[in-house]
Amino acid sequence: MNENVIDRSRDITILEVLDRVLNKGVILTGDIVISVADIDLIYLGVKLMLSSVETMEKLKSGRH
């Protein structure tokens, strides 16, 4: 098995995690949502509700 950053470091910052998983990956938004409206995706990613920056600001303030 090939080692990747997630295996190697158990202490990846939550900033790094959210910067990736909330903003990127297969994203079904905008035009695509309209064209596949008959597919009952109930939820198309947190970004629709909450920007990652807002999330992280809350996260940080929650830690202090």
Tell me which residues touch other proteins (CB under 8 A).
1-7, 12, 14-28, 32, 35-36, 39-47, 49-50, 53, 55-60, 62
Task: Please give the DSSP secondary-structure letter assigned to residue 57.
Answer: H
Q: Shortest approach of other proteins to residue 54 CB, angstroms?
A: 10
Q: Shortest approach of other proteins to residue 19 CB, angstroms?
A: 7
Angle ∠(10,13,17) on CA atoms, nearest 5? 95
Q: Shortest approach of other proteins to residue 22 CB, angstroms?
A: 6
**CA proximity to 45, closest of 33, 58, 57:** 33
